[in-house]
A and B are shown apart, each in its own frame.
Chain A
Amino acid sequence: MSTRATLLVGLGLLVLTALAPVDLTSVGLPYPGLKRYGTYILTLWLVTAIAAMGVNLIVGYAGQETLAQAAFVGIGAYLTAIATKAGVPFGIAFAASGLLTFAIGIVLGFPALRVQKHYLAFVTLAFSVLCWLVFRNEQWLTGGVMGLRDIERPSLFGWPLRQHVRFYWFVLGIASLLTFALWWILRSPWGRAFTALRENAVRAESLGVDVRLYTLLAFALGSAYGGMAGSLYAPLVEFIDPSPFALGPSLLFMLMVVIGGAGTFAGPFVGAAVAVLLPEWLRAWETYYLLIYAVLVMIVMAVFPGGVVGLFARLLTGRARP
């Protein structure tokens, strides 16, 4: 697709997503709009997708494994919650969440990437559990297992975002900016280097791509997406406790990206939809949801490793040339 077509498709999707909670019956369309809970779930999907985009950058483009994305989301969430409770404006807390997680990404990634390919997985695994221990044990700061409650939603230039629909639009705006930024990065020479890396690391290195530096930056940037997602997560749910930032959710982030299609641009959105919306639809089978999900992931890995997006791409191209 040409640049222009991609941008147009993106814009179209953005308008459609923005209209999802709006009642269109007044303009003659038979669509009543989403209710309060539906809007909340859709916002949660966007926040999850931002964090999943970060994982996709690390896993799908830089070819590394991260097992700490939920911990980064947690760092962003706790930082934002604590800062805004202390009276810091949301914008500053949001920027600080992104910067802090970026910095942590550099500090964690540097020693790990010095060694061997899979050591980043091990380091992030350890980091993930350590973060969770801190969230749970440092009661004076994080409220321990009781968590932090009454996290206020910010206002945008005096326009309060307390309402679900308004906050949804706010998150959608930020998500679109972050999506556009990532799209732009991946198209820049810097991003092309990633693709080169993923396709053939040895060849990329011989052509002068500093593999370690690029991988490190990809990891730090991907983690920063996690931190920023966390910064939006805290005011969305208005209450945080350690459980959504444990190791298990970090692993789920990896699965989500792979189900959607690692290394494809739309993958994280599809994966996040599967992870956030599917349990809502499978309400009746709630107990077995994770079981079904796990089997699904194993089948996807064995049968169509490109994920849902890869499968659709294959179906479409298959139809294009009969």
Chain B
Amino acid sequence: MTDLLQLLIAGLATGAIYALAAIGFTLLWQTSQTINFAQGEFVMVPAFLALIAMKWFGAPVLPALLLAVLGSMLLLGAAFRYVVVGPLLGRGVLPLVISTIALAILLKESVKDFYSAEAQPFPTLLPDTVVTVGGVAVSLAQVGVLVVALLTIALLQWFLAGTRTGRQMQATAQNPTVARILGVPVERMILYTFLINAGLAAVASILISPIYLAKFSNGETLGLIAFVAAIVGGFNQVRGAIVGGLLIGVLDNLAAAYVSTAYRQAIPLILLVLIILFRPQGLLGRREERAV
């Protein structure tokens, strides 16, 4: 029982990080029909921005992390929006899919060729102590990750539902044409979505890199999980991405402990196939009309 609780907490902590990546993924899809195949790499890159700031320019940890978030928003938010997605908007989904696949390769190879192919240790601000509460050993780092991720999500939800800009973004996501008619600056809202996505990815990166080390190939698994989390929860719902992320984090940890480590990666994929078979709109999603 205590084992199960420990696994549950660890699973929720990684799940909350997955949720951050999955939320950004859904937001991009909603506002600009961008299926971002480079989402995993978006979570991989900010850690290296921080490492570059620390190793090459000697910045202390905290400013380096802040720089990573800002750099990520500039590079993976604004530049991604205007250089990669911009020329392809309105040409359908396929060109964007191809271009983001290429971008994923580009980011991965750049980090490998210009920084390092080895896994890099990454500093953490969270305490590395283990507290025992009622027989359950709880790592404060895990609780910290969970708290930071959930706070970020809460902040985002407040922004989307509680501010004028946030509601304009939701309007853009639901129906860009009507939003435009009603005077919402749709272009700017799309840019905000890209910036938020990059910001969330950077937070996810900073939280996950101390656990799994920073490595150029991390994006492959992370992207896959963000994908699965978004679809399992419901492709068109931010809430869905949160539930999907947490669910997969927990399942992943339980599978590693109780099933087999060799097929640990298979569990989220089997879940994905089951969802597509039996509840294609996702756990919390609403039905959409068939595209064809």
Chain A residues within CB distance 8 Å of chain B: 59, 63, 65, 111-112, 114-119, 121-123, 125-126, 129-130, 133, 137, 201, 205, 211-212, 215, 247-248, 251, 254-255, 258, 262, 287-288, 290-291, 293-295, 297-298, 301-303, 305
A291 touches B276 (CB 8 A): no
B277 touches A111 (CB 8 A): yes
A121 touches B277 (CB 8 A): no
| Stretch touching chain A among B56-64, B70-78, B85-93 | B85-93
Residue of B nearest to A305 (CB): B95
Chain A residues in 8 Å Cβ range of B220:
247-248
Complex CA–CA separation, A121 to B109 (angstroms) = 24
A23 to chain B, nearest CB (A): 39
Chain A residues in 8 Å Cβ range of B265:
129, 133
Contact with A along B244-269 (1 / 0, CB 8 A): 00000000000000000011011001
Chain B residues in 8 Å Cβ range of A293:
102, 105
A218 to chain B, nearest CB (A): 13
A52 to chain B, nearest CB (A): 14
B110 touches A118 (CB 8 A): no
Q: Is the interface of A mostly helix, strand, loop or mixed?
A: helix
A129 touches B224 (CB 8 A): yes
Complex CA–CA separation, A115 to B281 (angstroms) = 8
B48 contacts the other chain (Cβ, under 8 Å)?
no
Complex CA–CA separation, A105 to B287 (angstroms) = 26
Residue of A nearest to B281 (CB): A115
Residue of B nearest to A113 (CB): B292
Chain B residues in 8 Å Cβ range of A117:
93, 290-292
Pairs A-B, 3 closest by C-beta atoms:
A117-B291, A297-B102, A294-B106
From known contacts A133-B262, A247-B220, infer whether A118 and B35 are also in contact, taking CB-CB under 8 Å. yes
B163 to chain A, nearest CB (A): 31
B103 touches A298 (CB 8 A): yes
Chain A residues in 8 Å Cβ range of B98:
254-255, 258, 297, 301
Residue of A nearest to B97 (CB): A65
Of A112, A205, A294, the residue contacting B102 (CB under 8 A) is A294
A116 touches B106 (CB 8 A): no
Instruction: Report 25 cross-chain contacts, Cβ distance below 8 Å, ordered by A residue.
Output: A65-B94, A117-B93, A118-B291, A122-B231, A122-B272, A123-B272, A125-B224, A126-B269, A126-B273, A129-B269, A133-B262, A137-B263, A247-B220, A254-B98, A291-B105, A293-B102, A293-B105, A294-B102, A295-B102, A297-B102, A298-B103, A302-B99, A303-B87, A305-B91, A305-B95
A81 to chain B, nearest CB (A): 22
16 additional A-B residue pairs with CB within 8 Å, beyond A117-B292, A254-B101, A297-B98: A65-B97, A111-B277, A116-B288, A122-B227, A122-B272, A137-B262, A205-B292, A212-B292, A254-B97, A258-B98, A293-B105, A297-B101, A298-B84, A298-B99, A298-B106, A305-B91
Complex CA–CA separation, A201 to B291 (angstroms) = 10
A59 touches B94 (CB 8 A): yes
A294 touches B290 (CB 8 A): no
Chain B residues in 8 Å Cβ range of A130:
266, 269-270
Chain A residues in 8 Å Cβ range of B3:
none
B143 to chain A, nearest CB (A): 31
Complex CA–CA separation, A303 to B227 (angstroms) = 28
Most buried by B among A63, A115, A303: A115
B49 contacts the other chain (Cβ, under 8 Å)?
no
Complex CA–CA separation, A116 to B262 (angstroms) = 32
Complex CA–CA separation, A133 to B267 (angstroms) = 11
B110 touches A201 (CB 8 A): no
B228 contacts the other chain (Cβ, under 8 Å)?
yes
Chain A residues in 8 Å Cβ range of B280:
114-116, 119
A133 touches B272 (CB 8 A): no
Complex CA–CA separation, A149 to B99 (angstroms) = 36
Residue of A nearest to B29 (CB): A118
Most buried by A among B84, B110, B265, B272: B272
B206 to chain A, nearest CB (A): 26
Chain B residues in 8 Å Cβ range of A212:
292
Of B95, B263, B276, the residue contacting A122 (CB under 8 A) is B276
A118 touches B263 (CB 8 A): no
Complex CA–CA separation, A298 to B262 (angstroms) = 35
Of B88, B105, B263, the residue contacting A294 (CB under 8 A) is B105
Complex CA–CA separation, A295 to B37 (angstroms) = 15
Of B91, B93, B276, the residue contacting A112 (CB under 8 A) is B276
Chain A residues in 8 Å Cβ range of B104:
251
A217 to chain B, nearest CB (A): 15
Complex CA–CA separation, A65 to B292 (angstroms) = 14
Residue of A nearest to B84 (CB): A298
Complex CA–CA separation, A255 to B109 (angstroms) = 16
